[in-house]
A and B are shown apart, each in its own frame.
Chain A
Amino acid sequence: ETGVTQTPRHLVMGMTNKKSLKCEQHLGHNAMYWYKQSAKKPLELMFVYNFKEQTENNSVPSRFSPECPNSSHLFLHLHTLQPEDSALYLCASSQGSASGGMVETQYFGPGTRLLVL
């Protein structure tokens, strides 16, 4: 497996369910990202992890909970979501930097299409 993979690719859940999205990168990177892509809106950065430490939380509601157990894996735990949370959730990775500045190429996974009923 190469690049950035995401599972599942599609997910339908009720508002009372708990589910998790998984992202795995096989690029040896140290930074990982969660984005939300909704129709007719720009990609919204949700969370950033650099060397397993969360460095950005872009005012995301607490019903979204990220977890980064190591530099290769990133999870997004979902609970009590709302219909407006339906979107494509994209994971990305980049080289990362111990000093924090890490504007480099981000490599994206194919995304998880989430529908909240």
Chain B
Amino acid sequence: AQSVTQLGSHVSVSEGALVLLRCNYSSSVPPYLFWYVQYPNQGLQLLLKYTTGATLVKGINGFEAEFKKSETSFHLTKPSAHMSDAAEYFCAVSNQAGTALIFGKGTTLSVSS
């Protein structure tokens, strides 16, 4: 069965520092992988997704993620954190039937000045 593990429920960085949010998945079929962001009192917004093709995926707000099949990972990075990046981030993988997404527990990113 498909599953997602996000390492670290809370990550704190300083403004301008590198952001690294970790996501590992298990999937019995070639996965489709997603990162979503949730700001307080809002729904989830897509940051980026990997389906096929290039393994380095660029998303909105300067975020990118790299699909590494050998490591079953899809970590999210941003070279320089901004205060507005403070939010909760969710990694997701498609289910086996390709009909829905399975989400990780989320990682809360805090950014200090």
Chain A residues within 8 Å of B, Cβ to Cβ: 4, 6, 33, 40-43, 45, 48, 50, 55-56, 90, 92, 100-103, 105-111
Tell me how far the C-beta of A29 lies from the nearest C-beta in chain B, rounded to whole angstroms: 14
Q: Which of A6, A43, A50, A110 has the most CB of B within 10 A?
A: A43
- Whether B43 lies near A4 (C-beta < 8 A) is yes
Tell me how far the C-beta of B65 lies from the nearest C-beta in chain A, rounded to whole angstroms: 15
* Stretch in B12-20, B68-76, B103-111 with 4+ CB within 8 Å of A: B103-111
User: B90 — which chain A residues lie within 8 A by C-beta?
Assistant: 43
Task: Given the known inter-chain contacts A103-B32, A110-B42, A110-B43, please indicate yes or no for A45 contacting B101, CB distance below 8 A.
Answer: yes
The docked-state distance in angstroms from the alpha carbon of A60 to that of B90 is: 22
- Whether A42 lies near B43 (C-beta < 8 A) is no
Tell me how far the C-beta of B101 lies from the nearest C-beta in chain A, rounded to whole angstroms: 6
The docked-state distance in angstroms from the alpha carbon of A50 to that of B98 is: 12
- Whose C-beta in chain A lies nearest to the C-beta of B34? A105
User: B83 — which chain A residues lie within 8 A by C-beta?
Assistant: none
- Whether B43 lies near A45 (C-beta < 8 A) is no
Q: Does B46 contact A (CB under 8 A)?
A: yes
User: B41 — which chain A residues lie within 8 A by C-beta?
Assistant: 110
- Whether A42 lies near B46 (C-beta < 8 A) is no
User: B45 — which chain A residues lie within 8 A by C-beta?
Assistant: 108
User: A102 — which chain B residues lie within 8 A by C-beta?
Assistant: 98-99
Tell me how far the C-beta of A96 lies from the nearest C-beta in chain B, rounded to whole angstroms: 10
